[in-house]
Structure 1
C-alpha cells in the first residue's frame, strides 16, 4: 500500500475537461435521485422530486467544479504534476467528496429541515467518508496501474529501438562539415549563448526564463536566459532533433540514451545528466516514432 501511495500520478489542469467531468457527476446524481427517489423523495409530488433532484445535482456540480477547476488555479504550486502522487490524488478527491456531502446536507436542511431524519452533520460526513473511501482507492489504484503498464510498455519498446545498431554512415554524411554554432538569444541585449546544436541536452521553462542544459567538456552545464520557451522553439526550428516534447521542455532527441515510464507518462534520460525530461502524454507516439527514426538513421 505504501508503494502505491508514493507512486507518481497524473495531474493535468484542463478546466474544460474537469468541468465536463463534474457536470457528468452532477447529472448522474440528478438522474439517480429522480429515478430511484431514495431518502423519502418518493413521498413528494413528481414535479417536486425532479426539481429537488436537479438542485442536488447542481450543488454537486458547483462544489466539485470550484474545487477541481478553481483550486489549482489559485494555488498552482501544490498541484504541480512533477510532485503529484497517488496519496495526493486520493486526499484531493476525498476532500472534494466531503465538501460535496456538506453542501448537499446544507441543501437537505434548507429543503426539509428536521423531516429528513435525526442524523447530525458530522454523522453524515462520517458515513460519506466510510462509504466513499474504498471506491476512491479502487478507482485511483486502477487508473495508476493501467497508466503505469501502458507507459512502461511504451518505454520498453523505445529502449529496444535505441539499442538497435544504427545504419552505416553514407559517404555524404562522413564528408559533411561540422555543424556551425547555434546562437540562442534572450530578451536582454547581451543575453546570448553560442554552442553546437548537438551539445544541447534540453531547454526548460522557468517562470520568465529558460534554463538551457548542455554538455561542456563532456560534463553537464546550464545557463539561464530571459526568454520564453516558444521563442526558443522558434530559434531552433532548423534543428528537428530539438523537439518540444512537453509544455515546459524542449529536448535534444539525439542525446536520449534511455526511456522510462510511469503513470504520468514517458521520461527521457539524457547523456551526461541525471535529470529526466517528461513527455506530454499526448505526444507519446510522436516521441516514440521520432526516436525510432533517429536510432535507425546514420550517425
Structure 2
C-alpha cells in the first residue's frame, strides 16, 4: 500500500513504517557514521545516536497521522501525493531530528542547520525508498498477470457499454453507461440512480427494488450492494473511513458519503482492493 487510507490497516502500516525507517536510520548512523559523526570522540556516542532513531519513529507517526487526516480535505490527488505528503514527511522528520540535535549536541537553534538536516533526512531516506520501489516492481513482474489483465479488460468493456435499466412502470427506463453510475439508493418501492456523465451529477428514478435493479446489471459489474438501501460503483470510491462496525465511502466526483453496513464491510474492503481505478 503506497498511500494510506482511513482504516485500521493503514494505522498499523504507519507504525510498521515508523519502526522500519527508525531501524534504517540507526543502521546508517551506527555502521557508516556519516555527516561527521565518525569524528565524534565524546563518550556514549552510540547512545546519543540512538536518540535519532527514537525521534524519527515519533516524526513518522505524526506524519502518518497527518497523511490520514489529509484524506478529509478535497484537493488534487496528484498534487497531494507528489508534493504535499512527501514534503510533510521530510519536513517533520527534519524538524524532529534537528530538535534532538539542538538538545543533545548543539545547545541552540540555527536555521542553517535546520536546512542541513532536511538534506540529511533526504539522503538517508531516499535509498531505502528506491530499494523498496524496485523490490515492489520486481515482485509485480514475477506475479502472473494474465488473469488479472483479462478481468480488468472485461470490466473496462462493461464500463463502456450502455445498459438499459427498467422499472415496473410502462416505459420506465434509464439508459446509462455503466461507469457513469456513482451509486444507487432505494427508498420504499423506488430506486434513485445517481449518475455522473462527466459534466454534472443527475438523478434518475425507477419504480423497482434495489435487488431487482442489481439483477439487471452485467455479471461482472463494479456496482455492488453495500447497505440495505445502497449499492456503490467501486470505481467511484475515493477512500473509506470507519471500522468493522461500519464504513463511510467518499466518492471521487462529489462530497457525498455512502454508508456501508456491518454485513458488507469485509465484502467492500476486499472488492476495493481488486477494483480498477477510474480513468
TM-score, normalised with respect to structure 1 = 0.45
Q: Which has the larger radius of gyration?
A: 1
Higher relative contact order structure (alpha carbons within 8 Å, sequence separation ≥ 6): 1
TM-score, normalised with respect to structure 2 = 0.48
